[in-house]
Amino acid sequence: MSLLSVRGLRKAYGALKVTDDLDLEVRAGELHAVIGPNGAGKSTLIAQLSGQVAPDAGSIRFDGAEMTGTAMPARVRAGMSRSFQITSILPGFTVRENVATAVQARVGSSFRFLAPVAHDADLNAQADEALARVGLSHRAALRAGSLSHGEKRALELAIALATRPRLLLLDEPLAGTSGAEAERLVRVMESLKRQVTLVLIEHDMDAVFALADRVSVLVYGRIIATGTPDQIRADPAVRAAYLGDA
Ligand SMILES: Nc1ncnc2c1ncn2[C@@H]1O[C@H](COP(=O)(O)OP(=O)(O)OP(=O)(O)O)[C@@H](O)[C@H]1O
């Protein structure tokens, strides 16, 4: 059963069809990677799924509910959350404050009924739970600016997890990392599998093929193939359009 169902999604910038009649089914519990060449429209897809960019046409259904016209906070409350880039981290605030502030900003009004003390306690509890899931508990009280690059990427994951999503949208979580840092983040994603449904955009093919249950290949705004990593590796159209060049 699909947790996320995308049908006929379209987005153009001028004459450029960045999302061109795109269909995508993400099953509950799977890690579904979306790969494709530079400029294929992967980030624009994530932006439409998360509610930052409005599609021109098509539908996005989450757990059976129509999300297409809803704004980002409503999607977060429904259980859809995306990771943001390091630029959204506040370097002068602690790691825990970064997570708590982001939860407050994203979930918004649903916390307003709580008394201030309960509010703070609940936000901090949510922040600490998320930091534990990405292995950053020991950094909670440090300023975010003092974290290594890989730790900042883990903090982005914690921020997205802190809203307790059922579907987590990850846009290049390994970007700028390598070696032990990248391996650590792959292990974090591995540990999230089955707990949360994941849509992963990632250029690191070793990580994608190690982590994904299924892979969709996006080329010129369209999904040209969806399958298991083995099916995708063996698909002649995929090899011709993309993997053969990689
Ligand atoms: N706001 C915008 N206005 C105009 N063109 C845009 C806009 N956003 C994206 N594009 C264009 O849409 C195309 C797809 O961009 P997108 O960032 O979604 O691709 P991508 O697959 O994520 O690429 P990469 O792998 O390089 O990150 C690119 O040609 C890009 O220049």
What is the domain partition of the chain in residue ranges? Answer: 1-79+167-246, 86-164
Smallest CA-to-CA distance from 43 within 206, 153, 196, 200 is with: 200
- Please state, in angstroms and rounded to a whole number, the distance separating the CA atoms of residues 70 and 64: 14
Dihedrals φ, ψ of 43, to 5°?
-65, -35
Give how far Cα 80 sits from Cα of 105, 107, 165, 176, 210, Å.
15, 11, 5, 25, 24
What pLDDT is stored for residue 107 in this prediction? 64
CA of 227 to the centre of ligand 1 (A): 24
Among the atoms of ligand 1, which is closest to the Cα of residue 221? 14
User: What is the CATH code for 1-79+167-246?
Assistant: 3.40.50.300
- Residue 113: is its pLDDT beyond 80? no
Which residue has its alpha carbon closest to ligand 1 atom 5?
13
Torsion of CA 210, 217, 194, 160, to 10 degrees: 100
Nearest atom in ligand 1 to 40's CA = 21
Q: Is 43 in the pocket of ligand 1 (CB under 6 A)?
A: yes
User: What number is the average pLDDT over the span 112-117?
Assistant: 50
Q: What is the pLDDT of residue 102?
A: 80
Residue 230 backbone dihedrals phi, psi, to 5 degrees: -65, -45
Q: 77 with 113: CB under 8 angstroms?
A: no
What is the atom index within ligand 1 of the atom nearest the CA of 53? Answer: 1
- The CB of 91 under 6 Å from ligand 1? The reply is no
214-244 per-position pLDDT tens digit: 999 999 999 999 999 999 999 998 888 876 6
Smallest CA separation from ligand 1 atom 3, residue: 13
pLDDT tens track for 78-111: 999 998 766 678 999 999 999 998 877 766 645 4
For residue 13, how far is its CA from the centre of ligand 1 (angstroms)?
Answer: 9
CB 227 within 8 A of CB 239: no
Ligand 1 pocket test: pick from 18, 201, 220 the residue with the most ligand atoms within 8 Å of its Cβ.
Answer: 18
The mean pLDDT of the chain is: 90
pTM for this predicted structure: 0.91
Cβ-proximal residues to 213 (8 Å cutoff; 6+ apart), any chain: 27, 30, 31, 32, 193, 228
Query: pLDDT at position 98, please?
Result: 92
Is the distance from the beta carbon of residue 48 to the nearest atom of ligand 1 less than 6 Å? no
| Nearest to 108, CA basis, from 119, 95, 124, 117 | 119
Alpha carbons 65 and 95: distance in angstroms, whole number: 34
Residue closest by Cα to atom 18 of ligand 1: 41
Please report which confidence band the pLDDT of residue 114 belongs to, taking 50, 70 and 90 as the band edges: very low
